[in-house]
Amino acid sequence: AQDTLESVKAAFESAGIVGDVIPTFDPSVLLTVTFTNPDGSPLTFTAGTLLTPAQAARRPTFSISPADPSTTFLVAEVDPDAPTPQSPTSAQIRHFLGPNFSVVGSTLANTTAALSDYRGPSPPAGSDPHRFVV
């Protein structure tokens, strides 16, 4: 099923992202995140979907709806559950930080170098799933 603004908001609240990572969340655009599977096929996921570290190993692409070409975005990906959700002593690990994303069609394209390049997840063996917040 495709995400809606309401389903994304509910998923963020249900996962405890609102409160743990951001104080409030009232989305006005829908961000679609697409990873590349190890076999090269695209993997577009909905909010709350569990991914394996292998599925999230490569930097994703982003698209947005509704798309406004006059708007620029900063894209950040963080892990609030590092090293494990049971003991998040290194919480807010930054996996990506990229400024100056512009809308090209409906895709977000980075027009400058990332402030920190994409770093895929590498949870320790036995860790419960992490929340990977974009």
Whose tokens are 């620029």? That residue is 72
The first and second tokens of residue 113, run together, are 């170098």
Question: Residue 118: which residues within 8 A CB-CB, separation 6 or more?
Answer: 58, 59, 60, 77, 95, 96
Average predicted confidence (pLDDT) for the chain: 91
Supply the pTM of this predicted model: 0.86
Helical (H) or strand (E) element with 9: helix 5-14
Burial of 6 (0-12, 13-18, 19+ CB in 10 A): exposed
**Lowest pLDDT segment from 47-51, 56-60, 73-77:** 47-51
